Amino acid sequence: MTAPSAAAETAARPGLGTRLLRNPLAAGSSLVLALVALAVVLAPWIAPFGPNEGDIADAHQSASGSHWLGTNAIGGDIYSNLLHAGRYSLTGAALTLAVASVLGITAGLLAGYFRGWFENAATAVIGLLLALPGMIVLLAARAAFGPSLWTSMTIVGILAAPAYFWVVHASVSAVRREPYIDAARVSGLSDPRIIRRHVLAAVRGPIFIQTAAVAGAAIGVQAGLEFIGLGDPNMVTWGTMLNDGFKDLYAHPMLMIWPSLMVSTVCVAFTLLGIGLRDTTEGAAAPRTRRRKRPTPSPTAARTADRDGALLSVRGLRIGYPQPDGTVTEVVRGVDLDIARGQVHGLVGESGSGKTQTAFAVLGVLPEPGHITGGSVLFDGTELADAHERTYAPLRGLRIAYVPQEPMSNLDPAFTIGYQLAEPLRRRMGMSRAQARTRALELLDRVGIADPEGTLRRYPHEISGGMAQRVLIAAAVACDPDLLIADEPTTALDVTVQAEVLDLLRDLRAERGMGVLLVTHNLGVVADLCDHVSVMRAGEIVESAPAARLFDAPQHAYTRELLAAVVDDEGPARPPLSTPNEPVPREAAE
């Protein structure tokens, strides 16, 4: 018997609801909470008596056919009171949860993703909330506004917001450095879209756990406040039932047992549900979204006069990183290069020479706090040096595309290949779901993937590195860009797949007339694919020439060292390269 294929396994993967039911913790706790919620919602119809309705002559009766759980000190039916009290207790907890989650999650997402002044301000406010004595604030609110359940639970929600903030902020700060987030930005997706579809998908597990913890805590805090007399005496809740039962604790202990049992059952169920949801949703398929019509962008934007007809013209580019002592370390100094339409321009040099930093400057995605300190980046007449994000929005993904190195880490593990290919097509090109899927199949077929249909349904961990690189190339050329920036596109591939990828890039360049900036340290790749070559060392271009002339007659000593260091069948041609005269930190330069 043969093992099922990866595509078949993916196609047979159960949905989120099915996997939720198969998880004992999630299914059991969901059932308990659903039964409690249903009972309290239907309380007006299934409760034999109203809240606190009773006859003093029936006080402290034991369980019977008329009163299933007995009666309290005023003859009220305990079973009916539990159901009616649950309506207010659960609604109060929901209010706390809504306030805490909206404030904490929103602030945590924005602070962790955008950083800067908002992160500083949000952190200061959250620190202030943590420093406030909650009980004093609640007592002051009660004195100012009276005994109100809704006011108290709103204040508790505000005080609980830091619990969400720190969890979300830490998770988002880690996720935003993942390569697939940069890949989503380069593909042209907006920041709100990336946050909603990629960042939230990665941090939802901690959010589920925190939501369960806050929901359980809200039930407990509310019951505690009303138990000590800070609640509304005219409103029956589980907390007020605890308060009433405590007065007759020794004579009639069951008056406290029943509300205590309800509070503890709901709190435990919320905790178990959070754990079950966290476990169930890890790796869940992308949720469906409603189709929205988007206007198809114009294939060309308004253009001004370019520089000598070049598609991309870089002049005097300088990139710096601020240091703790107030100085700025420049990792790229005075780079000049031009790329014409249909030309492959190779940018070569040893690791740490500033190649990737130059590419990131063109894309507008320099790592913080790096920034362009001088020079010009002119793309088809549009100046990009230190341009606002609004300038890049109509370019990235549509006219400037990016193929990163390390293909596996640039695909979001939470979404299928098909979703990650179709999303930019739908958002940037205005395609329908069916059109985007058809286009994705065409792209996968064009980049040489044998089973496009099956690949669309797979997740990144189900494909090889070579297939992942082809998928990224397909995504990059999906919108027919004018400029393709390929950053070490063959580094992680074996020799056979490397040759296939180079042939693919060559064919795509010929078909679409793209300009290509190829960032690499592999001179063999440069000789095979590039028309023009610029050699970088220590953040500077030391030589630039047509590929054939550079390989036949290199002018700069460093270029000759690079060529001499190429390994052939005889081994290295000479000792390793000498140390640059002006070294820069490799962490910053690359």
**Whether the Cβ atoms of residue 188 and residue 427 lie closer than 8 Å to each other:** yes
* In the predicted structure, residue 305 carries a pLDDT above the cut 50: no
Is the predicted pLDDT of residue 16 greater than 60, yes or no?
A: no
Fold matches, 16-43+70-281 and 312-399+483-589: no
On the question of pLDDT at 457 being above 50, the answer is yes
Question: Which pLDDT belongs to residue 307?
Answer: 54
Domain locations along the chain: 16-43+70-281, 312-399+483-589, 406-480
Least Cα distance to 428 among 195, 199, 202, 193 occurs for 193
**Sequence-separated contacts (24+) of 553-556 with Cβ below 8 Å:** none
CA-CA distance, 533 to 24, in Å (whole number)? 61
pLDDT for 576 beyond 70: no
Provide the Cα torsion 500, 505, 506, 510; round to 10°.
140
Tell whether the model's pLDDT for residue 295 goes beyond 60: no
Q: Are strands 371-379 and 382-383 parallel, antiparallel or unpaired?
A: antiparallel
Record the tokens describing residue 197, joined without a space.
């579809």
Q: What angle do CA 419, 423, 429 make, to 5 degrees?
A: 145
In this predicted structure, which of 96-100, 211-215, 568-572 has the lowest mean pLDDT?
568-572
CATH placement of domain 312-399+483-589: 3.40.50.300
User: Which of the two residues, 420 and 391, has the higher pLDDT score?
Assistant: 420
Check residue 298 and give its pLDDT: 37
Which has more pLDDT, 506 or 485?
485
- Residue 574 CB contacts under 8 Å (≥ 6 apart), including other chains: 561, 564, 565
CATH architecture under which domain 16-43+70-281 falls? Orthogonal Bundle (1.10)
Kindly state the average pLDDT of the residues 250-268.
84
Residue 570 confidence (pLDDT): 42
Q: Please give the residue that has the higher pLDDT: either 325 or 270.
A: 270
CA–CA distance from 567 to each of 489, 492, 570, 571, 573 (Å)?
20, 18, 8, 5, 7
Residues 80, 85, 89, CA angle at the centre, nearest 5°? 155
Residue of 66, 91, 93 lying closest to 80 (CA atoms): 66
Q: What is the pLDDT of residue 367?
A: 83
How much of the chain exceeds pLDDT 70, in percent?
A: 85
- Return mean pLDDT, the chain: 79
**pLDDT value of residue 281:** 62
> For residue 430, is it left (φ>0), alpha (ψ between -120 and 50) or beta?
left
pLDDT confidence of residue 568: 53
Residues 283-302 have a mean pLDDT of 38
Determine the pLDDT at residue 290: 40
Q: What is the pLDDT of residue 95?
A: 92
pLDDT tens figures, 189-203:
777 888 877 787 777
Lowest mean pLDDT of 34-48, 186-200, 376-390, name the range. Answer: 186-200
Where do we find the tokens 């007065």? 247
User: What's the CA gap between 71 and 48, in Å, rounded?
Assistant: 12
Mean per-residue pLDDT, 471-492: 82
Asked whether the beta carbons of 514 and 380 are under 8 A apart, the reply is: no
Instruction: Tell me the per-residue pLDDT of 358-374, one tens digit each, with 9 for 90 and over.
Output: 988 888 888 888 889 88
Q: Say which residue, 296 or 134, is predicted with more confidence.
A: 134
How many CA atoms does the CB half-sphere of 51 hold within 13 Å?
Answer: 18
Band the pLDDT of 15: cuts 50, 70, 90.
low
pLDDT tier at 512 (50, 70, 90 boundaries)? confident
β-bridge mates for residue 317, sequence order: 335
- Max mean pLDDT among 95-109, 199-213, 502-516 falls in 95-109
Q: Is the pLDDT of residue 590 over 80?
A: no
Where do we find the tokens 């005994």? 147
Q: What is the pLDDT of residues 114-172, one digit of tens each?
A: 888 888 898 899 888 888 888 888 888 888 887 888 888 899 899 999 989 988 888 88
> Band of the pLDDT at 14, cuts 50, 70, 90?
low
Q: With a cut of 70, say whether residue 13 has pLDDT above it.
A: no
Q: Which residue has the higher pLDDT, 429 or 549?
A: 549
- Please check whether residue 90 is in contact with residue 84, taking contact to mean a CB–CB distance below 8 angstroms: no
DSSP 397-459: TTTEEEE-SSGGGGS-TTS-HHHHHHHHHHHHH---HHHHHHHHHHHHHHTT-S-HHHHHH--
Arithmetic mean of pLDDT, 527-550: 89
* Mean pLDDT confidence for 43-72: 77
**Residue 512 near residue 476 (C-beta atoms within 8 A):** no
